[in-house]
Structures are given as C-alpha cells and as structure tokens.
C-alpha cells in the first residue's frame, strides 16, 4: 500500500486536518512576494566547499550589485565579498569554513543595500572536491577520480555521466548521489559497471534508496581489485541547469534515519543511526533547539556520512526497549511523551502502556515518513485483556488515534507494520499527548528588510486546533531586530487582510544580513504553549519541492538591515471612521530619499468586500496624493486595516514598498438619522 508523503511536522505540533477548525482557515489567495529591488540567487544546488579550508565561490543571480554582506546559516563560517564587483548577475565570495563544522547542506544568502536574497544551498564536506569535466558522457571517456572524493556535476538531457575509480581487493566503498536533498531537480540513478567488460555489475544499482528522498546510494565490498565505472543519470534522462548533483565516493556510513528520532527541547541526547551500512558509526550528541537538528554518522578515523534529521519535541523522549511484544512486557510511556521504536524482527508488534484519565481526550500519533523512514505504522489501543478500543485509519498520511478513556485506568498502544515488513530501517516515532487547544502560525515571507524607518513580516496562516480561540503573542527573536504583535482571540488572517509584525532595529546594528525567528505563545489552561512560526512551503519551493525539507530551515528567517529606503509611505485619514455608504478621505504621503523624484504608482491592499478605494499615482516631484475609501451600504461594520503598495523606477531598476498599516472603522448610520450628504465641490469658474 502506498501512502502519500506528509509534511514534516514534529510531535511538538502534530497538526492534522481532522483537528483543524476549518472555519478559521485562510482562503486561497496570492501570497506575498519579495520586492523587485531585492537580490535573487539562482546558483546551482551543487555548490560546495571543504571543511577546514578557504574556498572561493561565484554566486549567480540578479540584483547582486551593491552587496554588503553574505550570510551563511552555519556557525563559524566567515564569508567575505571580493572588492570592485559591478556585475549584477555574479558575485565572487570567499568562505572560510571551520574544520569542526558538521558535514551537511546549509543556506547562503546575499544582502545588498536594498534587501536580501532567497537562500541557495551550499554543501560543506570533508571530502576533496572535484569538478566534473565535459566529455564524460561515454564509458570509454569516463573521468578518472581519486578515492575518496566528491564530484560536483550536472546531468544533460538524454545522457549519462561516467566516472572511473580503482578499487583494491577487500575495499568497501559507498557511492552516494545528492540531488533532491540539496534542492536539485535531478532524480538520480546510479549504476556500477566493470570497466574491463563494460558490463553492469549485478545488484550494484540504486534508484530511490530508502531514506534519501529519491536520491541514490550503493555500498559494496569488492572481492578483487578492479577498475569500476560509475554511471550517474536522471531516472527519466532529464537534464539541464537545474539538474546538478554531488557524487560522494568513500568508505563512509550510509544512514537511513537517526535513532532515536527526536530529542527533547533544551536537552542533549546521544543519537545513533539506522540503515544497512552504519556498522561502526558512533552515536553523536545533539542539543534540542529550533525546529530540528542534524546528525552525521562517522566511523572512528573515517569520513562522515551525509547527515539525517532529528526532530525536536516539547516533552520527554525515550527509546523502545525489547522485548515488548506482549501486553505484560509493554514499555511505560508518560503523557505527554514520545518514544522511538523499530520493527526489527518478523511479525514484530510493540506494546506501550499509558495511564488514561476518564474524559481526557488523547492524541496518539506515529510518524515515520517525516523522518524519511520507510515504515508504515498501524496503531491500536487495547485494554488489559487485549480488547480493541480504538485503531488508526490506514488511509491517513500518519497513523493517528484520538482516544478518550471511559474510565481511569491503564491502557495499551500496539504498533505494528502495516505491510508486515521489518529491518534496521523500519523505525517510527510514537507520541501521546492530551488533545488540548493548539495552533500553528505560518509566515508569508522568509526574508525582509529593515531600515531606520522600520519594516514588517507578513503573517498569512493561523491554524486553530481542538477549539482553540485564544490570544496569541508573536515575538521576534533576533540579535538585530525587534518586533511584537498580538493576535486577538478571534483572529483569522485572510489573504485580503493586512496582518504583519512591525519590525524595528535594535540600537547599534550595522547594515548587513542577520537571522531571526518568530515565537508564538498562547496561554492554554494556565500554561504557555509555545511554537515557532514556519515558512515550510517557501523552504520546499527553494529546494525543488523536496517532500521533507531540512527541519532546521523551517523556522529560520533572514533580514537585511539597510540604509534609508528609496521612499517611505504613510496614510493619513481625516478621521478614523466612516459611515456605510459614505466616503473616507485622506492623503498618501511619501518621504523621498535625496535625489529621487520619479512618479510612484499606488495600489490599495487589504480592503474587504464591498469597500473600494480611489487613489492616483504620486506625480513626479510631488510628495502626496489624495485617497478616498468608499464602503457601500452592504459593507460589514467594524475595523478595516489597509496598506498602500507603491512601485517606481529609479536608475532603470524597479522598486516597491508598502506603507505602514492604517486602520479605520466602518460604522452603521443611526436608525432614523439620514446619512449626511457629502458637501459638493464648487466647480472652478471658467475664465
């Protein structure tokens, strides 16, 4: 049975369509887009550098002139920009990467004096890096490689890339292609051939290796010395600029998942690894922080395997202890609590004991695909005699049960493989928690700019779970900027509404690139429920629509601290209210940077149904223009928040800015009181 892959949601915020208050969901709309003056990166996904070395790289994109900083989402990496660059499509940088950094893929961004770019992946590796040479599309022209190494290549349409290595008798090597996991469009296939016979070696082929999100890996111990040809291609022979890859060759562990799969927030844990080739890989210690962390397998004295994701949970985490194949030997699981388990043997059924309270609804969830495990889990809740009380629906993306005990007592959760499979990679994470009111916040952009005049980050999604209807406080966590916004209990951000967190600079912050997160807090039953706002869909799109993007990127945002903007807008109304059927008049005021005099085109955003607005462009050299808002008789009374979106050209480039939000109130005329007509304007007398 094939089940669809779900979004990466950690046990800390187990969001399910069944528990979401759909009446409070935003309707489809056009998401916010970064301003046109921002830089943008289109650098190939196979960009990389070696640990402990200084590497010069060229970033490719648009609007890259006036760069002030390069930001890399990895601790200790120093990035500098080469002097005297004037090419808007290329930017030469130098990266100094510490030897102590973990192997893996990290985001890189460029900040200019006008904004900050999208992120592109850069991979830091402990293997020597070699660039693919053209002309290796045939077996007899294969590129000769040393071992170990990593090759940065790109697939061409209707072709394969061939490489040649020498192997010794008894030598074990892993051949791993990074494509989808680094944001490439390549769905790779890897095949090994005997260079002497030019024939494919039986069984040494990989496509969609479990745990690699459609990437491929082959590990083999060669009995005799030989020359080996390595073939890399797209599974359907596609190719082009977006089909780049990194081919790693060496004796490194190839993990499917981490184990345990999660660590409690604020605590450290020793993380091991699962998979067919992790013998000798020692556990690594990670700290539970952010929305997820990575762990890389490594043998003593060897090179590191590619890292795997570790979830971060808000409750105690433990690991399954065998034998627990019957109720009498069930592992104890606290509420709330999480546990990592395995289906290691044939017909393996794992039992967990929980203490339930009468009338307290519990959420029981098993996650596997989110951690890139192939396991498909089936759950049941039984009593002490084994009588079934509840079970999961196999058609759901996740094995999930909502269970409310009829009386106080001990109950048992059984977990088994839906397809009766077993093995070292068939792992899962089981969580149990009370079904309390909960929420999830989505942000509309993962990058913003802030100057002395301020800035903002749009909030575009609020999911309400289990009847949630409480105020939420959003707070920006950053060394460079500050911001706060409180969502009212009835808040329901729609695409037409203006909902943004205002941002201000902290004292002494210099222009450049910085990271930040948005923390959301609500008080439920007297206790703080805290989540980080996410940008999951933006991250997925930035990484070629990868099903499970790296968890640590889902809550990581970037800000460019800039000089004064080209212009700044504000709205001033004559009064903050208007009768239905009336007209609200005001002005849009612009504050221009010195030397900027061009026309500014305005569009009003945020108006609800039955409310229109009239506004003309601000003429060249002018600093204000009239605005009129007209709610018709069918308009809904209450507060309305709007902004004005402005576009202009300067030195041949497009610029766009939004005004700060302005609120007015639509009111109902009093009964029996006719609406006062608007005074007529006197026509100027003709001369």
Q: How large is the greatest C-alpha to C-alpha distance in the chain, in angstroms?
A: 105
DSSP state of 551: G
**Measured distance CA(375)–CA(381) in Å, rounded:** 19
Q: How many CB atoms lie within 10 A of CB 150?
A: 23
Rounded alpha-carbon distances, angstroms, from residue 108 to 43, 58, 112, 122: 10, 12, 14, 7
Question: Half-sphere exposure of residue 450, counting CA atoms within 13 Å on the CB side?
Answer: 28
Check residue 409 and give left, alpha or beta (phi > 0: left; psi -120 to 50: alpha).
left
Rounded alpha-carbon distances, angstroms, from residue 292 to 141, 252, 408, 653: 43, 24, 35, 39
The chain-wide mean pLDDT, for the chain, equals 90
Please count the helices (runs of H) and the strands (runs of E) in the chain: 1, 53
Give the global pTM: 0.87
Which one, of 440, 360, 464, lies nearest residue 19 by Cα? 464
Classify 181 as helix, strand or coil: helix
Rounded alpha-carbon distances, angstroms, from residue 625 to 570, 572, 594, 615: 11, 11, 19, 7
Which has more pLDDT, 7 or 463? 463
Pairing of strands 67-72, 90-96: unpaired
- Taking a C-beta distance cutoff of 8 angstroms, is the pair 91, 109 a contact? no
Band (608; pLDDT cuts 50, 70, 90): confident
Q: Residue 363: beta bridge partners?
A: 402, 433
Rounded mean pLDDT of 319-327? 96
Classify 288 as helix, strand or coil: coil
**Measured distance CA(289)–CA(295) in Å, rounded:** 13
Stated as kind and residue range, the H or E segment containing 542 is: helix 536-542
Which has more pLDDT, 3 or 276? 276
Which one, of 458, 463, 434, lies nearest residue 446 by Cα? 458
Contacts of 578 (CB under 8 A, 6+ apart): 584, 629, 631, 664, 665, 666, 667
Band (14; pLDDT cuts 50, 70, 90): very low
Band (239; pLDDT cuts 50, 70, 90): very high
Classify 541 as helix, strand or coil: helix
Q: What is the pLDDT of residue 552?
A: 86
**Measured distance CA(183)–CA(173) in Å, rounded:** 25
Q: What are 234's two structure tokens? A: 């797209």
Can you list the positions of beta strands (E) in 288-376?
A: 293-295, 308-313, 317-319, 331-332, 337-342, 349-356, 362-367
- Taking a C-beta distance cutoff of 8 angstroms, is the pair 561, 600 a contact? no
The pLDDT tens digits of the residues spanning 337-388 come to 999 999 999 999 999 999 999 999 999 999 999 999 999 999 999 999 999 9
Is the pLDDT score of 448 beyond 50?
A: yes
**Measured distance CA(501)–CA(442) in Å, rounded:** 12
Band (16; pLDDT cuts 50, 70, 90): very low
Band (429; pLDDT cuts 50, 70, 90): very high
| Gyration radius of the chain's alpha carbons | 29
Q: What is the pLDDT of residue 478?
A: 97
Omega before 306 cis (within 30°)? no
Is the pLDDT score of 13 beyond 70?
A: no
What DSSP assignment string belongs to 460-528? EEEEEETT----EEEEEE-SSEEEEEEE-TT----TTS--EEEEEEPTTPPSEEEEEEEEEEEEETTEE
The pLDDT tens digits of the residues spanning 260-274 come to 999 999 999 999 999
| Three-class SS of 362-393 | EEEEEECHHHCCCCCEEEEEECCCCCEEEECC
Is the pLDDT score of 5 beyond 70?
A: no
Domains in the chain (CATH in brackets) are 11-30+438-561 (2.60.40), 40-125 (2.60.40.10), 129-250 (2.60.120.380), 257-313 (no CATH), 317-434 (2.60.120.380), 567-667 (2.60.40.10)
Stated as kind and residue range, the H or E segment containing 246 is: strand 244-250
The pLDDT tens digits of the residues spanning 126-177 come to 999 999 999 999 999 999 999 999 999 999 999 999 999 999 999 999 999 9
Q: Is the dihedral of CA 451, 452, 456, 457 positive or negative?
A: positive
**Measured distance CA(71)–CA(75) in Å, rounded:** 11
């Amino acid at each position: 049975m094939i089940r669809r892959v779900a979004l990466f949601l950690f046990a800390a915020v187990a969001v399910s369509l069944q528990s979401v208050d759909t009446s409070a969901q935003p309707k489809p709309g056009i998401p916010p887009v970064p301003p046109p003056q921002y830089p943008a990166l289109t650098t190939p996904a196979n960009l990389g550098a070696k640990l402990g070395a200084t590497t010069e790289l060229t970033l490719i994109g648009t609007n890259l002139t006036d760069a002030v900083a390069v930001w890399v989402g990895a601790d200790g990496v120093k990035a500098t920009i080469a002097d005297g660059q004037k090419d808007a499509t290329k930017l030469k940088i130098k990266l100094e990467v510490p030897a102590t950094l973990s192997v893996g893929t990290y985001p890189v961004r460029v900040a200019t004096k006008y904004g900050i770019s999208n992120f592109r992946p850069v991979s830091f590796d402990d293997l020597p890096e070699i660039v693919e040479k053209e002309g290796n599309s045939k077996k007899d022209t294969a590129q000769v490689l040393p071992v170990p190494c990593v090759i940065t290549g790109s697939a061409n349409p209707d072709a394969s890339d061939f490489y040649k290595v020498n192997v010794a008798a008894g030598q074990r090597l892993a051949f791993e292609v990074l494509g989808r996991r680094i944001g490439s469009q390549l769905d790779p296939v890897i095949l090994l051939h005997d260079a002497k016979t030019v024939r494919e070696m039986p069984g040494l082929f990989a496509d969609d290796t479990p745990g690699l999100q459609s990437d491929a890996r082959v590990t083999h111990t060669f009995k005799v010395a030989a020359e080996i040809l390595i073939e890399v291609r797209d599974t359907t022979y596609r190719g082009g600029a977006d089909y780049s890859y990194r081919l790693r060759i060496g004796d490194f562990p190839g993990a499917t998942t981490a184990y345990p799969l999660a660590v409690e927030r604020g605590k450290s844990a020793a993380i091991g690894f699962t998979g067919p080739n992790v013998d000798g890989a020692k556990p690594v210690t990670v700290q539970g922080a952010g929305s997820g962390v990575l762990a890389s397998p490594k043998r003593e004295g060897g090179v590191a395997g590619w890292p795997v994701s570790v979830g971060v949970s808000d409750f105690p985490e433990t690991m399954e202890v065998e034998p627990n194949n019957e109720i009498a030997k069930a592992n104890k699981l606290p509420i709330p609590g999480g546990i990592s388990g395995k289906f290691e043997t044939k017909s393996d059924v794992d039992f967990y004991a929980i203490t339930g309270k009468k009338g307290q609804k519990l959420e029981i969830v098993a996650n596997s695909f989110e951690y890139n495990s192939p396991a498909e889990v089936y759950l049941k809740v039984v009593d002490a005699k084994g009588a079934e009380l509840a079970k999961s629906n196999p058609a759901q993306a996740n094995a999930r049960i909502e269970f409310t005990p009829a009386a106080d007592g001990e109950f048992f959760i059984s977990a088994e493989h839906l397809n009766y499979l077993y093995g070292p990679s068939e792992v899962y994470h089981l969580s149990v928690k009370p079904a309390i009111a909960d929420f999830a916040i989505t942000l509309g952009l993962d990058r913003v700019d802030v100057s002395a005049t301020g800035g903002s980050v749009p909030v575009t999604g609020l999911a309400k779970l289990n009847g949630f209807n409480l105020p939420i406080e959003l707070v920006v966590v950053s060394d460079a900027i500050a911001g706060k916004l409180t969502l009212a209990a009835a808040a329901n951000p729609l695409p037409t509404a203006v909902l943004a967190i205002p941002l201000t600079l902290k004292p002494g912050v210099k222009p450049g690139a910085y990271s930040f997160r948005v923390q959301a807090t609500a008080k439920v039953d007297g206790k703080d429920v805290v989540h980080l706002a996410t940008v999951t869909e933006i991250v997925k799109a930035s990484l070629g629509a990868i099903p499970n993007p790296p968890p640590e990127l889902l809550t990581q945002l970037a800000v460019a601290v800039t000089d004064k903007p080209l212009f700044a807008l504000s709205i001033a109304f004559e009064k903050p209210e208007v009768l239905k059927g009336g007209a609200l008049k005001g002005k849009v005021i612009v504050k221009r940077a010195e030397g900027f005099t061009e026309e500014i085109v305005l569009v009003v955003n945020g108006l609800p149904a039955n409310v229109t607005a009239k506004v003309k462009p601000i003429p060249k050299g002018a600093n204000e223009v009239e605005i009129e808002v007209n709610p018709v008789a069918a308009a809904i009374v209450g507060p309305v928040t709007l902004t004005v979106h402005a576009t202009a050209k300067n030195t041949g480039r497009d610029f766009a800015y939004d005004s700060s939000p302005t609120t007015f109130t639509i009111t109902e005329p009093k009964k029996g009181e006719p609406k006062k007509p608007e005074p007529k304007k006197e026509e100027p007398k003709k001369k």
